[in-house]
Amino acid sequence: MTRSRVAVLAGALSIAFALSSACHTPPAEPAASESSESAPTATYVGQEVCLSCHETITPGLTAKYNHTVHSRVLSETHSELAARGCEACHGPGSAHVEAGGGKGVGNMVRFDLDSPEAVARINGTCLQCHNGGDRSYWHGGAHESADISCTSCHVVMENVSHDNLLAKRTEVETCATCHHIQYSRVYSNAHMPLRPGAFESSTASEGKMSCSSCHQPHGTVTESLIRNISTNDQCLTCHAEKRGPFLWEHSPVPEDCLNCHDPHGSNRRAMLKMQVPRLCQTCHVSTGHATSPRNPTDRFAVGTACLQCHTQVHGSNHPSGFALTR
């Protein structure tokens, strides 16, 4: 596909899309908190009524909740829905109160269940407010397709983590609940500073990056939930010195950093997938030095092997750099 065709197609589609979005009518799917399952006569009772019982059932609930951002945003007239307080998320509570309470009584929205129906209801509740922006690609995204609920990763009623109301103390540990292999590779000898510490930050942690430094778990335009428009653009956010463009390019570099690197961690220096010189030798041949296997005591096997001469492996801007040596 030529670039001009791509540009015209993209422009036409974007215009058509914007027009169709601007002409929308109210959606066919009901909001979860107002689903057909709601008791027809349930009305809002007010947050104070909720807390009068639930503080007795769970002492300390109010104090913990009062330190969360939801307690602030749902307690003011930020919107008609937000002003409902507890009932903005859990639904109108009059039937629940009249029945004397109890789990699920009065068709309250519960956030501790994970059947497919409950997941849809939970996510629909959260998306009443948290739609758009970072959640534009939630529907059809990897986590939504896997029936992951918002409360699989987030806890609303207290600050377990420092930020973002995560289910565990750190983001890395939250993601590691399911993504075991990526978590284990963070402990490889070549890694980026993601390791969470045993005791906050005073003793052993790195904690300078988190999974969301590169990934957007709520859904994105890019594979593997990468934040930016491509894997490379994501890496170049911090590693801007590799962006170029360079006079002499190393062709696989501007295509995909993951051609050579494992972003989560590796046994090999510089997070490479294979040992140098073997990594280079999977692609390169010249009737000459490149494809000799090299004894480990050879000067072209020790150290950084091929990179001792071909130092500018990400690209060179030097007039004599066609072989990436300058």
Tokens of 235: 């890496």
Q: Which of residues 60-99 bind other proteins (CB under 8 A)?
A: 60, 63-64, 66-67, 69, 72-73, 75-76, 78-79, 82
Longest dimension (CA), the chain: 86
The reply to whether 34 sits near other proteins by the rule CB under 8 A is no
Specify the DSSP class assigned to residue 277.
Answer: T
Distance (Å) of CA 65 to CA 55, 72, 86, 122: 11, 10, 11, 19
Q: Which amino acid does the sequence have at 77?
A: T
Closest CA to 170 of 192, 200, 214: 200
- Residue 166: how many other CB atoms lie within 10 Å: 20
Amino acid at 190: A
**48 vs 223, beta carbon nearer other proteins:** 223
Cβ-based nearer residue to other proteins, 152 or 212: 152
Radius of gyration of the chain (CA): 27
**Least Å distance between CB 50 and other proteins?**
17
Q: Is 41 in the site for other proteins (CB under 8 A)?
A: no
Taking the complex as a whole, how short is the minimal distance between the CB of residue 215 and other proteins, in angstroms? Answer: 16
Q: Which is nearer to other proteins, 98 or 134 (CB)?
A: 134
Q: How many residues bind other proteins (CB under 8 A)?
A: 155
- Give residues 175-234 in contact with other proteins (rule: CB under 8 A): 176-181, 183-185, 187-189, 193, 195, 198-206, 208, 221-223, 229-230, 233
| Element at 159 (helix H, strand E) | none
CB contact set of 245 (below 8 Å; sequence gap of 6+) = 254, 315
Choosing from 39, 94, 98, 321, the residue that interacts with other proteins (CB under 8 A) is 321
235-294 residues near other proteins, rule: CB under 8 A: 236-238, 240-249, 251-252, 254-256, 259, 266-269, 273-275, 278, 281-287, 291-294
Assess 108 for contact with other proteins (CB under 8 A): no
Measure the CA–CA gap between 138 and 117, rounded to whole angstroms. Answer: 17
102 lies in the site for other proteins, by CB under 8 A: no
**Residue 299 in 3-state DSSP?**
coil
Our CB check for other proteins shows the closer of 105 and 204 to be 204
Query: Which stretch, 33-41, 43-51, 89-97, 125-133, contacts other proteins (CB under 8 A)?
Result: 125-133
